[in-house]
């Protein structure tokens, strides 16, 4: 099947491209910066069949990319969890041009990599793929909600749009690194704030398998959770302590204080260029209100399971060390295997 992939040089998209090629699909990438295809994918031995220059917000570029494709997986998104009107415009335009454009052309299936944020906070004790769309105050939250509303209108009309809702995406080979892995890095370096809620962890390699498994035409509109494993913050800290071979600071912080800290970080980010500590107010809401997800439909219909969470966390931390995003002193038990005889690129 000839598949258009957006966001192919990102964390999810790069792993997805590898998975699709391994399964024999013909992969065309829409790349805003085509030079990143060689920089990000080539060193990992990933060679897409075709690259179309363009951005998801450019309707003409998307039209060129969709021409001749049988299916599309829309994995591109602006994921900055902070106030940014550019984030809102880009994410909504991506759904309009890629998802709605594919529906007009009759592609089947049309896979939308959404986010569990779209359904946050859940109305019940667990998140389900049929939960109502919820709104957050930031442009990121609003953009994901508006995109989801557009997708569900298409699904209600019978368009073969498949929604996949990942939680926190972990794993190795993150071109960013993403906010998720920055958060893991900073918890290891500074402290693990123990508060209400917890974290959903899905391995990027498993998510790629879930998305690839959606590429079966003729099944109509569908929705799948990809929440993976849910851990309390204390449980995640305990696993990581065992993996890295040292104790981490674990101060207990009330949920209200976490959210207030997020407001402070947002204010600092607005005036201090390059300040990227990921505890924004919206991130604090997720951290303190997050709930487990019901992935039973995903496991039963797609036949894709999740690897042990310990494997995902181990590989994530080892990669952070090997790439120089995390100094070996913060993960002594993993550092030797992660970097071998080579010095890491950076030592933060």
Which pairing describes strands 222-226 and 229-231: parallel, antiparallel, or unpaired? Answer: unpaired
pLDDT at 80: 57
As a whole number of angstroms, the distance between CA 207 and CA 185 comes to: 21
Per residue in 198-216, pLDDT (tens digit) is 999 999 999 999 999 999 9
Give the three-class secondary structure for 229.
strand
pLDDT at 145: 85
Give the three-class secondary structure for 23.
coil
Task: Tell me the chain's radius of gyration from C-alpha atoms.
Answer: 19
The whole-number average pLDDT for the span 288-297 is 94
Which residue did the predictor score with more confidence, 344 or 54? 54
Residue whose token pair is 């449980």: 235
Beta-ladder partners of 201: 168, 229
Per residue in 78-129, pLDDT (tens digit) is 665 444 557 778 888 889 999 999 999 999 999 999 999 888 888 899 999 9
As a whole number of angstroms, the distance between CA 69 and CA 4 comes to: 6
CB 280 within 8 A of CB 266: yes
CB 111 within 8 A of CB 70: no
Per residue in 215-235, pLDDT (tens digit) is 999 999 999 999 999 999 999
CB 165 within 8 A of CB 223: yes
Q: How confident is the model at residue 138 (pLDDT cuts 50, 70, 90)?
A: low
Q: Which CATH class is domain 2-168+200-229+292-306?
A: alpha beta
Which residue did the predictor score with more confidence, 229 or 289? 229
pLDDT score of 340 more than 60: no
pLDDT > 90 in the chain, percent: 75
As a whole number of angstroms, the distance between CA 320 and CA 231 comes to: 21
pLDDT at 337: 63
pTM across the whole model: 0.91
As a whole number of angstroms, the distance between CA 235 and CA 237 comes to: 5
Conformation bin of residue 117: beta by default, left when phi > 0, alpha when psi is -120 to 50: alpha
Per residue in 68-81, pLDDT (tens digit) is 999 999 999 866 54
Give the three-class secondary structure for 63.
helix
Which pairing describes strands 229-231 and 199-203: parallel, antiparallel, or unpaired? Answer: antiparallel
Inter-CA distances, 278 with 114, 204, 269, Å: 20, 19, 10
Beta-ladder partners of 224: 164
């Amino acid at each position: 099947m000839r598949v258009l992939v957006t966001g192919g040089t990102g964390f999810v998209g790069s792993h997805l491209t590898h998975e699709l090629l391994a399964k024999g699909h013909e992969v065309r990438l829409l790349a805003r910066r085509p030079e990143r295809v060689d920089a990000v994918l080539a060193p990992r031995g990933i060679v897409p069949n075709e690259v179309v220059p363009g951005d998801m917000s450019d309707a003409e570029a998307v039209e060129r990319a969709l021409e001749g494709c049988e299916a599309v997986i829309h994995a591109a998104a602006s994921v900055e969890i902070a106030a940014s009107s550019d984030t809102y415009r880009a994410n909504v335009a991506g759904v309009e041009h890629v998802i709605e454009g594919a529906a007009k052309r009759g592609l089947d299936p049309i896979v939308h990599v959404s986010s569990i944020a779209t359904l946050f906070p859940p109305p019940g004790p667990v998140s389900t793929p049929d939960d109502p769309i919820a709104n957050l105050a930031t442009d990121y939250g609003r953009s994901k909600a508006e995109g989801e509303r557009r997708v569900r209108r298409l699904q209600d009309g019978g368009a073969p749009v498949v929604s996949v809702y990942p939680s926190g995406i972990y794993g190795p080979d993150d071109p960013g690194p993403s906010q998720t892995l920055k958060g893991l890095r900073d918890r290891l370096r500074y402290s693990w704030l123990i508060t209400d809620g917890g974290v959903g962890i899905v391995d990027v390699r498993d998510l790629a398998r879930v998305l690839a498994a959606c590429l079966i035409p003729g099944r109509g509109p569908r929705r799948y959770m990809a929440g993976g494993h849910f851990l309390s913050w204390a449980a995640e800290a305990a696993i990581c302590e065992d993996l890295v071979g040292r104790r981490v600071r674990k101060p207990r912080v009330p949920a209200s204080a976490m959210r207030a800290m997020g407001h402070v970080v947002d204010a600092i980010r607005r005036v201090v260029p390059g300040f990227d500590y990921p505890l924004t107010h919206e991130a604090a809401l997720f951290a303190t209100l997050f709930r487990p997800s019901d992935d039973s439909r995903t496991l039963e219909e797609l036949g894709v399971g999740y690897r042990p969470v310990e494997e995902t966390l181990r590989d994530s931390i080892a990669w952070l060390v090997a790439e120089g995003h995390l100094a070996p002193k913060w993960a002594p038990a993993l550092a030797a295997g992660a970097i071998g005889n080579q010095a890491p690129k950076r030592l933060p």
